[in-house]
Amino acid sequence: MNHDTYDDNYIRSILNSVKSIAMVGASPVNVRPSYFAFKYLAQRGYDMIPVNPGHVGKQLLDKPFVASLSDIGRPVDMIDIFRSSSHIMPVVDEALTLSPLPKVIWMQLGARDDAAAEKAEAAGIKVVMNRCPKIECGRLSSEISWMGVNSRTLSSKRAPIPTQGMRLSLNRMSVGGAATAASDRAAKNKGEPT
């Protein structure tokens, strides 16, 4: 497979088919990219499992950390690797010992290991490298275009705000609803003179 570009349907089929995601390298520190990605995916209905031996005994959004993939103790659909490229092969090797095997190995932005990808694909596992599932989910569900990012459309008409329970184009329900204090105040004050 060509891992330099991915067809949208390939990414969409992965995001629509997986239910549980083990995030290797997840962090409970709320300014870390892994925290944002974990929270976003959890709010979209994915069953998230934080994997980081340095945080065992802690929780991330009420989910207890586990030290390794083998400590999860149940099947996992996707492994999201939030580690640098030099740490990918050991994670893939551990993933290949799981029974059943995960459906997908996903390597975050900046992470790529072609030998590890080849090994996983030889075992029948789909692979995505150098991409973020949070970004791809937002892009394919049109949430990013709601915010005006990469929409390729200029308009004075604002798209509807994603609300709790709103069906997104990836067939996931919005849990968080993208509400902010500013948007709540704006909705409350709508029609009042400024």
Residue 86 contacts residue 110 (beta carbons within 8 Å) = no
- 193 found inside a domain: no
Q: Give, as one character, the DSSP assignment of residue 156.
A: S
Structural domain including 90 reads 8-136
- For the chain, what is the domain count? 1
- pLDDT higher than 60, residue 155: no
pLDDT tens for residues 116-148?
999 999 999 999 999 999 999 988 887 765 444
pTM: 0.76
- 176 found inside a domain: no
What tokens were used for 174? 């919005």
Residue 41: its pLDDT value, please? 95
Distances (CA, A) of 71 to 56, 66, 94: 11, 6, 11
- 55 found inside a domain: yes
| Sign of the CA dihedral with 180 first, then 21, 24, and 11 last | negative
SS (H, E, C) 11-41: HHHHHHHCCEEEEECCCCCCCCHHHHHHHHH
- 149 found inside a domain: no
- 146 found inside a domain: no
- The 10 Å Cβ neighbour count of residue 156 is 4
CATH number where 42 lies: 3.40.50.720
- 175 found inside a domain: no
pLDDT tens for residues 40-50?
999 999 999 99
CA-atom Rg of the chain in angstroms: 18
Helices 88-95 + 114-122 axis angle, to 10 = 10
Tell me which amino acid residue 23 is: M
Q: From CA 182, how far away is CA 8, in angstroms rounded? A: 33
